[in-house]
Amino acid sequence: MAQRYALMIDPADVADARDDYSDTFTDVDVEAPALSVGEFSTQRGDGVFESIGVIDGHANEVEAHVQRLAHSAQICDLPAPNLEQWRQAVAVAAARIPQGEAVVKLILSRGVEHGPAPTAWVTAAPAADFSAVRRDGVRVVTLDRGYDLGAGERAPWLLLGAKTLSYAVNMAALREAHRRGADDAVFVTREGFVLEAPTASLIIRRGDEFLTPAPSGGILHGTTQLSVYELLESRGFRTTYATLSATDLATADAAWLVSSIRLAVAITAVDGAPLASDPDLTAELNAFLLSPR
């Protein structure tokens, strides 16, 4: 099997109800040029994407990811993706890479100016080794996102609820966190409400209750957060969405950043102040997230 794999998708209309979309997939050489120099995904970050965790050839949370891809496309005024076509593309890509942990990425771009639209492709590659950070956790700093809590609803053109290819700000936030001696960041609103990390959702614990910021605040609805809530609810814990302040994070009984590839990592410090963690529960969360779902 190849270490990396990619295929281009000839996007099917959302009304196309065929059973087999294999003739719409074209394998491409991951080392060779595949996109036009006029492609808006690279020129403007004008597109949406998803990253799906794969364990031993099984892609996890596929339905949640393709549904979120469709939601992001709608927010960005992109043509609605044919979800069955994308499900099949995920299955093909996941089967083409070695066993172990991997990542399949789905990319839907606006294409090229005056050309056929959209452009769509899928890539697959082994994931990085996150075993150490899952065990040891991360130190975070809180960073001002520059918006208030109502910005997403008041200004939908900011695309705050979409997973767009425009990740320059997210990467800049991670670099700033590193400059401040931390491993990751948590965005806060101008009023001091916590939102999400640049590449992860936030969950905090207060007693036997687990809370996460409501997606109505202009953040992504995390697919991994939904899976974690599923496990916690099966264990009898109370889960909820809430408006949480930076103080709620700093005084939590424990807190985690959760995402599809890195999975669950405990927050061990906030803005330099230590935060309690629960290694046993963190290990349980990751064991669950590494299982087929």
Domain with CATH 3.20.10.10 in the chain: 131-289
Q: What is the CATH number of domain 5-126?
A: 3.30.470.10
Domain with CATH 3.30.470.10 in the chain: 5-126
Pairwise CA distance, residues 46 & 111, whole Å: 8
Does 113 score more than 90 pLDDT?
no
CATH topology of domain 131-289: D-amino Acid Aminotransferase; Chain A, domain 2 (3.20.10)
Does 132 score more than 90 pLDDT?
yes
**Any alpha helices (H) in 111-179, and if so which ranges?**
131-136, 151-154, 168-179
Q: How far is CA 286 from the centre of its chain?
A: 16
Does 293 score more than 80 pLDDT?
yes
Query: Where residue 59 falls among pLDDT bands split at 50, 70, 90?
Result: very high
Query: Where residue 217 falls among pLDDT bands split at 50, 70, 90?
Result: confident
Q: Please tell me the chain's helix, strand, coil percentages from 3-state DSSP, rounded to the nearest 5.
A: 30, 30, 40
Does 116 score more than 80 pLDDT?
no
β-strands 58-59, 254-259 pairing: unpaired
Average pLDDT of the chain? 95
